[in-house]
A and B are shown apart, each in its own frame.
Chain A
Amino acid sequence: MLNYIWAGLIIFSLVFALSTDVQELSTDRYRNGDAFEVTVTFPDEYDAEARRQPVTVDLDTTAFQSFYPEAPAPEPRYEGQLVQTQDGNQIVLGSGTELPQPWQDMRDFYGDETSDPIRAAAQLDAVTGAVTQARLTFEPVHFRKLNDIAAAGLNFAETAASLALGLIGVLALVLGLLKIGEEGGLIHSLTRFVQPVLRPLFPELPKDHPAMGTIALNLLANVFGLGNAATPLGIKAMEDLQKANPSEETATNSMVMLLALNTSSVQLVPPVLLIAIMGLQVNELVFSIALATACTTVAGIAGAVFLSRMKRFADSNPMNDSS
């Protein structure tokens, strides 16, 4: 299942990015190679010798919208710079400021940062006073989305590694504490205590299996919205479940049940992130969240039990071989 979803996500993003790109190319969204005329004003005197001087660029908004037919109405005035290079004049726009679409998308295509300026080759008329007309031609934009998805793929690979490494500290802390709990017999007594409740959900587990204790701790951390502690506890519970798993690589029913309980867990305290976003307003939501999580937990349990009995999944149960 995960194989198909995974491949599906990748193929679907490629297809989607390509079709967007083809559509943008066929409608010539970026007017590659065409020149757009603007009015350039020099707030200081025009200096023919200066390599770099500040300018104000004024757009005719109706001309802009007929040049870029899909564009929303732009702001009429932008600050920029006129740069004289070996290849002729360039106008640099939008350093650290908003640009109208599609220039914004073009900027994302050229630059790494969304606040990077964009450059256009500028053909200037003779300057009379401090005002002149200039025709701007931007670098062509091809296959923007295709570039986007490739960049995102690399970015997220990096994010994934740092997320995993970021777990190390808390993971070590929780695992260390749990080891003390194991040695002291706390996990064992906890297991005996929660067994009557949890056993029906994990019927495959042998009686008094320590996984029951760590599962209980994991669920407890979830209920109280302690995401940071819940993850390492869940990982530890998974490890304990793996000890009862005859297979190296196939999930048991108990593992899927633990996963379902975790993705849907009952929460009496909203997650920290939500508090950060919404502030005290979250207090109003405690009951709607508790109500919704009660439903998801029931659904998660029911789903895990029901699906485990479907022929396809029942056949692949690693417990089949051992019994």
Chain B
Amino acid sequence: MLETIRSIVSILSYFVLPAILVGFPLYGLIKGVRVYEVFVEGAKEGFEIAVMIIPYLVAILFAIGMFRASGAMDFLVDTLDPVLGFIGIPAEVLPMAIMRPLTGSGSAALVADMVAQYGEDALIVKMVATMFGSTETTFYVIAVYFGAVNIRKTRHAVPAGLFADGVGVIASVYAVRLLFGG
């Protein structure tokens, strides 16, 4: 049953992108839109938006880059370790929990490290990979999405995003325990 759903989903996922790429022009053509002219008009914005994002992304990434280089991450891991151990989260997955909302490339490297160190079948590797797959790089998303529309006052976006990330860490650990035992 689960397997069937899975294969249906993975087949569907092959069609979504082509459907968007081909479907929109085709649909426009049928509806009598001057597709080429309209496309170019819309695409013009791409450059402006990308440039608009730059200051936001520089602000976020530069701070995170310094934080990572300072070695403070290790310190944070050591401090939080006893707290998280208490709610049943293994110490090895902690760096991932802290890294994930901050940097996408950093957390990807962390998964790769752990695969090399513990092997793909280890429970903790499954946990960090699930964490990687189940949450986004919150600060990057905030910089890009809000940067694109020049929003500086983010209100409750950061706490809401971090709350979801925290739940994601715990959910990943328990989901892997539930599905793979141990």
Give the B-binding residues of A (Cβ under 8 A). Answer: 1-2, 5-6, 9-10, 12-14, 16-17, 20, 145, 148-153, 155-157, 159-161, 163-165, 167-169, 171-173, 175-186, 217, 220-221, 224-226, 229, 231-232, 234-235, 238-239, 241-242, 247-251, 255-256, 258-260, 262-265, 267-271, 273-274, 277-279, 281-289, 291-293, 295-297, 299-300, 303-304, 307-308, 310, 313, 316-317
Chain B CB within 10 Å, residue with most, of A171, A235, A287: A235
* Cβ contacts under 8 Å, B104 to chain A: 273
- Partner among A12, A152, A185, A263 whose Cβ is within 8 Å of the Cβ of B135: A263
Contact partner of B133 among A14, A235, A267, A317, CB < 8 A? Answer: A267
CA distance A248 to B146 in the complex (A): 11
Given contact pairs A165-B51, A224-B12, A255-B145, enumerate 6 new A-B contacts (beta carbons under 8 Å): A5-B158, A16-B72, A167-B50, A264-B135, A297-B164, A300-B163
Q: What residues of chain B lie closer than 8 Å to A287, measured between beta carbons? A: 2, 6, 175, 179
Question: CA of A273 to CA of B132 in the docked complex: distance in angstroms?
Answer: 9
Rounded to whole angstroms, the CA-CA distance of A74 and B147 in the bound complex is 49
Given A181-B24, A303-B159, decide whether A296 and B165 contact each other with a Cβ distance below 8 A.
yes
A304, B42: Cβ atoms closer than 8 Å: no
A311 to nearest B CB, angstroms?
Answer: 12
Q: Does B96 contact A (CB under 8 A)?
A: no
Inter-chain contacts of B166 with A (CB < 8 A): 299
Which of A9, A14, A20 lies in contact with B64, CB distance below 8 A?
A9
B62 and A274 form a contact (CB under 8 A): no
In Å, the complex CA distance between A7 and B1 comes to 50
**In the bound complex, what is the Cα–Cα distance between A293 and B172 (angstroms)?**
8
B49–A224 touching, CB < 8 Å: no
Residues of A within 8 A of B144 (CB): 164, 167, 231, 235
- Place the interface of chain B in its size category: 35 or more
| B111 CB–A CB distance under 8 Å | yes
User: With A and B bound together, what is the CA distance between A161 and B79 in angstroms?
Assistant: 33
Q: Which of B24-46 contact A (CB under 8 A)?
A: 24-25, 27-28, 30-31, 33, 35, 38-46
Min CB distance, A217 to chain B, in Å?
8
Q: Which residues of chain B come closer than 8 Å to A152, judged between CB atoms?
A: 65-66, 68-69
For A217, give the chain B residue with the smallest CB separation: B20
Main SS of chain B's interface residues?
helix
Residues of B within 8 A of A295 (CB): 167-168, 171, 175
A311 to B151, CA, bound (A): 21
| B9 in the interface (beta carbon within 8 A) | yes
Cβ of B177 to closest chain A Cβ, rounded Å: 9
Partner of B27, one of A186, A238, A241: A186
Contact of A171 among B50, B130, B132 (CB under 8 A): B50
- Knowing A172-B47, A249-B150, the reply to whether A178 touches B9 (Cβ < 8 A) is no
Contacts of B63 in A (CB 8 A): 6, 9-10, 13
